Amino acid sequence: MAGKAAVLMTGRMELTEDTELAQRLLGNDQSGLEDILRAFGAGVLALLRRRFREVLREEDLEDVLSMGLFRLWNSRHRYDPARASLRVWWFRICENCARDVLRLGWQKARARETATDIALIGSVASSSGRASDQHCETTMESVASALQQDLRDVLSELPEIQRSILLADAAARDVVACSHRLGDEFGVPAATIRVYRKRAMDRVKREMLLRGHGGELP
pLDDT tens digits for 168-192? 877 765 567 788 888 888 888 888 8
Q: Which residue has the higher pLDDT, 138 or 147?
A: 147
- Say what the pLDDT of residue 92 is: 93
| pLDDT of 16 higher than 90 | no
Check pLDDT > 60 for residue 135. Answer: no
Task: Supply the pLDDT for residue 90.
Answer: 94
Count the alpha carbons within 13 Å of 124 in the hemisphere toward its beta carbon.
24
Domains annotated on the chain, with CATH:
2-111 (1.10.1740), 118-216 (1.10.10)
Phi-psi region of 133 (alpha: psi -120 to 50; beta: other; left: phi over 0): alpha
pLDDT at 143 over 80: no
Say whether pLDDT at 120 is over 50.
yes
Q: What is the structure's pLDDT at 126? A: 54
Using one digit for the tens of pLDDT, what is the confidence trace for 63-107? Answer: 888 888 888 988 899 999 999 999 999 999 999 888 888 877 655
**pTM of structure:** 0.51
What whole-number percentage of the chain has pLDDT above 70? 68
